[in-house]
Amino acid sequence: MSPPPSVRRPGRRRPGGLVHGVRRGRPFLRRRVPHQPPARRLVINTLAVLCSAAAVWTFLTPPPAVHRLNQLATRPPVDPLLFVKARAEAIRERRSRPHRWRASVIELCDAMAAELAAGRTPEEAFTAAATVLDPHISKELLDLPRPPPDHLGELAASRPGAEGLRLLAACWRVGSERGGTLATVLDGLAAALRDEEAQRQDVSVQLAGPRATARLLAALPLLGLLMAAAMGAHPISFLCGTLPGAACLIAGTTLNLTGL
């Protein structure tokens, strides 16, 4: 028995080539999207993320001028070793202060002799000569009460290396009371102080080797402890935990402090 002429099977083509029926659940026309490989999609996504990050960073970052102004306005970072550097500088300053005082006294005598030979009074020569010295030493000399010879001895007693000021004050008093050419006396004093400083430098150079040897010998016990600890001998527990070790520690410390 053939089906009625009004009912046709789905998908059957008519003579014109058109599809009359449509399958259930599927669209009649389907748009195809070209397939992209995974590597290409990864590259595209990565570039998009980088471009977005660059745009956000450019938008949020202040201009270079603002950055420079902020650097000028903010305080410089605190150096963690500032205290150690200041302490080392203070120690170096204290050690070099006597040498600077001796050199300044010699320079003061030479300058005063030149000013006196030019016709100035002793006080004027002292003021003119003190202004060309080390700034700290010059300030202390210029701040002395007048007349300077009465107070140079006190300054020499309180400043290591300024012993030549006492001789300068004595020459100044003798030249003022008994007369005489003070410039010639100060030239001789400067020469004597210069020879004394040269002799002191020679002695210091000759003693540099023995001083280095003494420092090395003083550090040998500590080096021995480190070597024993590296060998696994436990020297700290022996010296601090046993009676013979404590006796050795006391005897060694005593000999080291006495220089033997």
Cβ–Cβ under 8 Å, residues 217 and 223 = no
Q: First vs last Cα of the chain: how many Å apart?
A: 136
SS3 state at 13? strand
Print pLDDT tens along the chain (260 aa): 455 555 445 444 444 444 444 444 455 445 554 555 666 667 677 777 777 777 777 766 666 666 666 666 666 566 667 777 777 788 888 888 888 899 999 999 999 988 888 888 888 888 889 888 888 888 888 888 888 888 888 888 888 888 888 988 888 888 777 655 888 888 889 999 999 989 988 888 888 888 888 888 877 888 888 888 888 878 888 878 888 888 888 888 887 777 66
Angle of helix 182-206 relative to helix 82-117, nearest 10 degrees, comes to 150
Whether the CA torsion 107, 110, 114, 117 is positive or negative: it is positive
SS3 state at 141? helix
Between CA 108 and CA 168 the distance in angstroms is 9
Between CA 110 and CA 120 the distance in angstroms is 14
